[in-house]
C-alpha cells in the first residue's frame, strides 16, 4: 500500500533540491502533487522527468496574490488539500554590519511572509486531519557567521509554527517542521559567493556534522513523507532535526 494514496499535496520550492526530491517521493507514494516554484522554465524542465498525477504552478511565495493563485489553482484541479509543504526558502549570507533593509525584506518576505500567507489562504481548503509542514533549519539552534537574517527568519517560522499548532487543533491538523543540517542542494550556488568560498564553507560544515558529511535532498524527503503520512499521526508541533547530529553537539 502506498503511503499517500489519494492525498493532495502542495509543495513550494518544488523545482529544486528538497522540494523536488519530496515531490518525486510523494508522487511515487500515490499523492497528487502541486509543484510550485517562482520560475516557469525551471518548473517546465523538472515536469519532463516526473511521473504521476501532478500540476505545476508558477508562484512567487513573497507575493500575496501568488499564494492565493497557487491555492486557487490547486483546488480547481484537485478540490481539497491534505498536505501543505511550505518549503521554499533562500539563504543569502550577509555579515551583521552589512545587512540592508533590502536584504532583510528579501529574506523575510520569502522565508516568513510566504509560509504565513500561504497557510492563511490554504486553511479553508485543508482537510480536517491534514498536515502542514515547514522546512526550517539547524540555524535556529546553531549560529553560523553571515547567516543572521536567515537564522532570524527561520526562528520566526518556528515560533509561528507553535501558534499555528494551537490554532488548528479543533480541526486536528498537524503542524510539523523539518530542520535540515547542510544538505547538498543548489541553494549554496544561489548565495552569490565565489565557488572557492562555497567549497570552503561546505568543507567546514561537513566537518562539524557528527556524521561527517552533507545530507541529501532524498534524506529530507523521506522525513517529509514520514511526517505527512499516517505513520506520524501522533506527531504534532515538533521540529524534526535531520542534520546528522549537528544541532546536538
Ligand X SMILES: NC(=O)c1ccc[n+]([C@@H]2O[C@H](COP(=O)([O-])OP(=O)(O)OC[C@H]3O[C@@H](n4cnc5c(N)ncnc54)[C@H](OP(=O)(O)O)[C@@H]3O)[C@@H](O)[C@H]2O)c1
Contact positions vs ligand X (CB under 6 A): 12-13, 15-19, 37-39, 42, 60-62, 87-91, 110, 135, 137, 180, 182-183, 185-187, 190, 217
Q: Show the beta-strand stretches assigned E in 27-88.
A: 32-37, 54-58, 81-86
Answer whether 163's CB lies under 8 Å from 174's CB.
no
Q: How far is the CB of 50 from ligand X (least distance, A)?
A: 14
Q: How far is the CB of 114 from ligand X (least distance, A)?
A: 6
Q: How far is the CB of 4 from ligand X (least distance, A)?
A: 20
Q: For strands 54-58 and 32-37, give the pairing.
A: parallel
The secondary element (H helix, E strand) that includes residue 227 is: helix 217-228
Q: Which of 106, 150, 160, 234 is catalytic?
A: 150
Residue 186 or 204 with smaller CB distance to ligand X: 186
Residue 186 or 245 with smaller CB distance to ligand X: 186
Is 150 considered catalytic here? yes
Residue 133 or 173 with smaller CB distance to ligand X: 133
**How far is the C-alpha of 179 from the C-alpha of 157, rounded, in Å?**
11
Instruction: Write out the three cell numbers for 93.
Output: 549570507
Rg (alpha carbons) of the chain, rounded to whole number: 17
On the CB side of 152, CA atoms within 13 Å amount to 16
Q: At what angle do helices 101-108 and 148-167 cross, to 10 degrees?
A: 40
Q: How far is the CB of 128 from ligand X (least distance, A)?
A: 27
Residue 19 or 130 with smaller CB distance to ligand X: 19
Residue 78 or 85 with smaller CB distance to ligand X: 85
**How far is the C-alpha of 156 from the C-alpha of 214, rounded, in Å?**
25
239: buried, middle or exposed (CB in 10 Å: 19+, 13-18, 0-12)? buried
Q: How far is the CB of 137 from ligand X (least distance, A)?
A: 4
Catalytic site positions: 150
Amino acid at each position: 500500500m502506498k503511503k499517500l494514496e489519494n492525498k493532495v499535496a502542495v509543495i513550494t520550492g518544488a523545482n529544486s533540491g528538497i522540494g523536488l526530491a519530496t515531490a518525486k517521493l510523494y508522487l511515487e507514494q500515490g499523492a497528487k502533487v502541486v509543484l510550485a516554484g517562482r520560475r516557469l522554465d525551471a518548473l517546465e524542465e523538472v515536469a519532463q522527468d516526473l511521473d504521476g498525477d501532478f500540476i505545476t504552478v508558477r508562484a512567487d511565495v513573497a507575493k500575496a496574490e501568488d499564494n492565493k493563485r497557487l491555492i486557487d489553482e490547486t483546488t480547481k484541479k484537485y478540490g481539497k488539500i491534505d498536505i501543505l509543504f511550505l518549503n521554499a526558502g533562500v539563504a543569502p549570507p550577509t555579515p551583521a554590519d552589512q545587512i540592508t533593509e533590502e536584504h532583510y525584506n528579501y529574506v523575510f518576505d520569502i522565508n516568513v511572509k510566504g509560509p504565513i500567507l500561504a497557510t492563511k489562504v490554504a486553511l479553508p481548503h485543508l482537510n480536517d486531519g491534514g498536515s502542514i509542514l515547514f522546512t526550517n533549519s539547524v540555524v535556529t539552534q546553531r549560529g553560523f557567521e553571515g547567516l543572521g537574517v536567515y537564522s532570524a527568519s527561520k526562528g520566526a517560522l518556528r515560533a509561528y509554527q507553535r501558534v499555528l499548532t494551537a490554532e488548528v487543533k479543533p480541526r486536528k491538523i498537524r503542524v510539523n517542521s523539518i530542520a535540515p543540517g547542510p544538505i547538498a542542494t543548489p541553494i549554496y550556488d544561489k548565495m552569490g559567493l565565489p565557488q572557492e568560498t562555497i567549497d570552503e564553507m561546505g568543507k567546514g560544515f561537513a566537518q562539524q556534522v557528527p556524521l561527517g558529511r552533507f545530507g541529501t535532498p532524498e534524506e529530507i524527503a523521506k522525513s517529509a513523507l514520514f511526517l505527512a503520512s499516517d505513520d506520524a499521526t501522533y506527531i504534532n508541533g515538533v521540529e524534526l532535526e535531520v542534520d546528522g547530529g549537528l544541532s546536538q553537539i
